[in-house]
Amino acid sequence: MPTTSETRTEIFTKLFAESRQALHRYIRRFVGSSETAQEIVQEAFLRTYRQRESVTTLRAFLFSTARNLAANEYRHRRTVERGALGDFGDSRVKTEHESPETELLRDERNRLIQEAIDRLPPQCRAAFALRVFHECSYKEVADRLGISAKTVEKHIARGLHDTHSYLKRRYNVTRQDHG
């Protein structure tokens, strides 16, 4: 009789064989590069394999992990591009260098927003990120995540509500601490 570990490894091996190509195509749509998609897929499988004993739905965990890695890659690429090109979308005239205070406030705001988003459930977070950061339509989000547009609508509403509530709570705590 095989041990639970052996069975989970066999299930993972089957998951790899059945999902690798579909996952690669799916992630390539996010990142636009086959090579980057391949790296993300490999990392997602590695992380899923490491967690195989504690995860109940390996396929969902795999795709969620890959989506999160793709979102991280997208954010990283945008940060690098902004650093190299500047933010042309900002109509205000910027000084050549931001003050350290302005930089710290911007970084703190971005950190709090990221914390708020990270607290969302995985599918809600994925839908929210696709809609807000990747500017996908509800239908595109539904197609990418394999859920209905109505479910996407509910995830976006929850994402907005939960992130706003989290930021409001954190802001009030910060004001009380420094006020």
**What's the confidence (pLDDT) of residue 153?**
92
- CA end-to-end span of the chain: 64
Q: Choose one of 65, 88, 111: the last residue of a domain.
A: 88
Query: Is residue 66 within 8 Å of residue 41, measured between CB atoms?
Result: yes
**What's the confidence (pLDDT) of residue 59?**
86
**What's the confidence (pLDDT) of residue 41?**
93
**What's the confidence (pLDDT) of residue 88?**
43
Distance from C-alpha of 75 to C-alpha of 65, rounded to nearest angstrom: 15
**Residue among 114, 125, 127 nearest 153 (CA):** 127
Query: Is residue 52 within 8 Å of residue 8, measured between CB atoms?
Result: yes
Q: Residue by residue, what is the 3-state secondary structure of 117-146?
A: HHCCCHHHHHHHHHHHCCCCCHHHHHHHHC
**What's the confidence (pLDDT) of residue 150?**
93
Query: Is residue 118 within 8 Å of residue 166, measured between CB atoms?
Result: no
Q: Is residue 93 part of a domain?
A: no
**What's the confidence (pLDDT) of residue 81?**
61
Structural domain for 60, as ranges: 1-88
Same domain, 55 and 113: no
**What's the confidence (pLDDT) of residue 87?**
44
Instruction: Give me the number of domains the chain comprises.
Output: 2
Q: Spell out, as residue ranges, where the chain has pLDDT lower than 50.
A: 85-95
**What's the confidence (pLDDT) of residue 83?**
59
Same domain, 69 and 143: no
Distance from C-alpha of 113 to C-alpha of 164, rounded to nearest angstrom: 9
**What's the confidence (pLDDT) of residue 6?**
63
Q: Choose one of 88, 116, 147: the last residue of a domain.
A: 88
**What's the confidence (pLDDT) of residue 91?**
41
Q: Is residue 81 part of a domain?
A: yes
Q: Is residue 11 part of a domain?
A: yes
**What's the confidence (pLDDT) of residue 54?**
84
Same domain, 127 and 156: yes
This prediction has a pTM of 0.45
